[in-house]
């Protein structure tokens, strides 16, 4: 019996790679979802203030703001949420499968709270002034708690992706061991702090349009304080968070992420602090356009680097420190009945054991070496590297200094990658002929011969007709 790898067909995205597809959708989603949860708290706090200080004008703001959230946050959030599912399922099928096998009930529960959250925002908007204050406040606080519950339930999954933090889970496979991982509380803390900060900025978009001067000043100041409190909490939580990261993540953060994003994040931090301080000092100066720019800046210069960094810091894994980004299992997980793929690829190689390889590529010959190399490169590397010379994501030819010398390229595959010596890259104990094929292909890319292999022969189908006409 020939053993096979449990790999799925490959989703190959030229140029930006699947990682960026997920990153772009994820960033938009995170901005919308954190705004929604933070806004739910803002709603409850302001409704409370309106009732206890007898200031019905505040409700005028809440109505406008609620409508704005419904149209933007909720619709954008609900579109990008399934977008994440679609993209990760094809980009990282084993990653998502691993998570589902741990967390299916958490996700189901999260969905229930999300449902309550959506009903909540409608109730908040349409029941203002139609029901008594006491009931409205009860609903407002239920809305806030249900919204936050969606975050409490999703963060265990996100933090487990970073790592379980101890060896226990690998043996028990228990959902609780997976959920209460080392990283969980600090991660929840950061996101909670962030939701207050971002809600403080988004709130300004509507606050700046209020007609009543006194209410406008009062709400803008309230938003500033909330934003500042969120930012302060976020800094404290960030320090805690870094202390709960795996050593490799800290290494990647210090050596790669900080040089790359450190100054952007620092500048954003200062800009956001100034924004909140200025709007607290001179609330009437706040314009809607400024609040919009601030919100977009947080998304572009804060969330995008953050999402990218978190993805990079997990390297070489996509989840739980046992599923590599390129979908291979790196180790046994007895608690889940998972066996490492490493012994099989070491013994038989990938071409012979991957279901979705065209039959004519199962064995490497001089004729098909380049195509086999292309397919192997896409399977082994494309999750983290653009394959073309100009791709956005660590393009492979550049990684090898555009070397056109297959021998030099292969030396890297023979040594560092074969033995798993690079902390951010998977171990790839491939047989000699497969390493040679990858090297020949990458050398051809560098030599600008990529046109000979433009037809897409990624592992999509075992039907050989797909690859006809490619030489
Ligand atoms: C899990 C993700 C991942 C996979 C899969 C992966 N790499 Fe990398 N690789 C990285 C990261 C991250 C870097 C660091 C890039 C940087 O410095 O920006 C890197 C860097 C490199 C470098 C530069 C040298 C170095 O040590 O930094 C080479 C060469 C390289 N990769 C080759 C490959 C090849 C060939 C494959 C497939 C056979 C591959 N990589 C698969 C993540 C990956």
> pLDDT, tens digit, for every residue of 414-438?
999 999 999 899 999 999 999 999 9
What is the pLDDT at residue 449? 59
CB-ligand 1 contact for 399 (6 Å cutoff) = yes
- Report the separation in Å between the CA atom of 140 and the middle of ligand 1, taken as the mean of its atom positions: 49
The pLDDT tens digits of the residues spanning 173-214 come to: 999 999 999 999 999 999 999 999 999 999 999 999 999 999
> What pLDDT score does 17 carry?
86
Exposure of 34 by Cβ count < 10 A (0-12 exposed, 13-18 middle, 19+ buried)? Answer: buried
Residue of the CA atom closest to atom 1 of ligand 1:
316
pLDDT of residue 471: 29
pLDDT class for 2, splitting at 50, 70, 90? low
| Pairwise CA distance, residues 440 & 234, whole Å | 48
Q: Which of 150-164, 365-379, 407-421, 444-458 has the lowest mean pLDDT?
A: 444-458
pLDDT value at 456 more than 50: no
Whether the predicted pLDDT of 468 surpasses 50 = no
Instruction: Give the CATH number, domain containing residue 399.
Output: 1.10.760
pLDDT at 309: 87
Q: What is the pLDDT of residue 202?
A: 94
Rounded Cα distance, 334 and 447, in Å = 45
Average pLDDT value for residue range 388-406: 89
287-308, pLDDT tens digit by residue?
999 999 999 999 888 888 888 8
54 and 90 in a single domain? The answer is yes
Write out the residue range of the structural domain in which residue 389 sits: 343-467
- CATH number for the domain harbouring residue 128: 1.20.1630
Pick the residue whose CA is nearest to atom 37 on ligand 1: 381
Evaluate whether 445 touches 387 at the Cβ level (below 8 Å): yes
Please indicate, yes or no, whether residues 119 and 259 belong to a single structural domain of this protein: yes
**Spacing, Cα 445 to ligand 1 middle (Å):** 16
**Into how many domains does the chain fold?**
2
pLDDT, residue 19, reads 86
Q: Are residues 304 and 402 in the same domain?
A: no
Same structural domain for residues 350 and 317?
no
In a domain, 463, yes or no: yes
Mark whether 408 and 312 lie in a shared domain: no
If asked whether residues 113 and 141 sit together in one domain, one would say yes
Better-scored residue on pLDDT, 50 or 467 = 50
Whether residue 261 has pLDDT greater than 50: yes
* Domain boundary pick from 262, 297, 324: 324
Among residues 292, 324, 356, the one where a domain terminates is 324
> Which tens digits make up the pLDDT trace of 94-128?
999 999 999 999 999 999 999 999 999 999 999 99
Beta bridge pairs of residue 5: 354
| Residue 7 belongs to a domain | no
Q: CA–CA distance from 40 to each of 43, 114, 440 (Å)?
A: 5, 12, 56
Please check whether residue 5 lies inside any domain of the structure: no
Residue 9 covered by a domain: no
Classify residue 336: in a domain, yes or no. no
Determine if ligand 1 sits within 6 Å of the CB of residue 34.
no
Q: Which residues pair with 133 in a beta bridge?
A: none
Given a cut of 70, is residue 455 above it in pLDDT?
no
Say yes or no: 196 and 302 in one domain.
Answer: yes
């Amino acid at each position: 019996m020939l053993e096979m790898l449990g790999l799925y067909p490959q989703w190959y995205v030229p140029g930006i790679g699947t990682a960026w597809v997920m990153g772009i959708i994820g960033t938009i989603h995170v901005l919308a979802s954190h705004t929604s949860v933070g806004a739910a708290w803002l709603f409850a706090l302001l409704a409370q203030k309106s009732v206890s200080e007898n200031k019905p004008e505040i409700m005028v703001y809440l109505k406008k703001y609620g409508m704005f959230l419904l149209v933007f946050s909720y619709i954008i959030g609900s579109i990008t949420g399934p977008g994440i599912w679609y993209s990760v399922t094809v980009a990282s099928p084993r990653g998502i499968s691993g998570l589902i096998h741990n967390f299916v009930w958490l996700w189901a529960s999260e969905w229930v709270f999300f449902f309550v959250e959506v009903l909540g925002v409608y109730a908040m908007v349409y029941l203002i002034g139609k029901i008594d204050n006491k009931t409205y406040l009860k609903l407002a606080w239920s809305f806030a708690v249900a919204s936050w519950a969606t975050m409490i339930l999703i963060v265990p999954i996100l933090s487990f992706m970073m790592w379980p933090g101890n060896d226990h889970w690998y043996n028990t496979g228990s959902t609780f061991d997976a959920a209460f991982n080392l990283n969980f509380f600090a991660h929840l803390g950061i996101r909670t702090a962030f939701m207050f900060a971002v809600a403080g900025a988004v709130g300004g978009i509507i606050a700046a349009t209020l007609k009543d001067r006194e209410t406008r000043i009062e709400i803008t100041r309230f938003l500033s304080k909330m934003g500042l409190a969120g930012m302060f909490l976020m800094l404290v939580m960030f320090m805690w968070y870094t202390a709960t990261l795996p050593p490799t993540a800290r290494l990647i953060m210090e050596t790669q992420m900080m040089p790359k994003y450190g100054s952007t994040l620092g500048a954003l931090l200062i800009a956001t602090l100034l924004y909140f301080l200025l709007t607290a000092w001179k609330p009437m100066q706040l314009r809607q356009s400024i609040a919009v720019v601030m919100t977009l800046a947080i998304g572009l210069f804060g969330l995008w680097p953050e999402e990218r960094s978190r993805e990079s810091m997990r390297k070489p894994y996509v989840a739980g420190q046992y599923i590599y980004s390129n979908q291979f299992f790196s180790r046994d997980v007895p608690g889940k009945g998972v066996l490492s793929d490493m012994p099989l690829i070491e013994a038989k190689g990938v071409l012979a054991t991957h279901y979705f390889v065209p039959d004519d590529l199962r064995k490497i010959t001089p004729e098909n070496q380049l195509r086999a190399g292309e397919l192997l490169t896409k399977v082994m590397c494309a999750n983290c590297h653009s394959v073309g010379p100009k791709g956005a994501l660590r393009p492979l030819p550049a990684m090898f200094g555009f070397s056109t010398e297959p021998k030099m390229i292969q030396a890297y595959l023979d040594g560092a990658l074969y033995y798993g010596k690079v902390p951010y890259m998977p171990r790839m104990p491939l047989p000699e002929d497969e390493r040679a094929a990858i090297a020949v292909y990458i050398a051809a890319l560098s030599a600008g011969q990529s046109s000979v292999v433009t037809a897409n022969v990624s592992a999509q189908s075992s039907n050989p007709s797909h690859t006809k006409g490619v030489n």
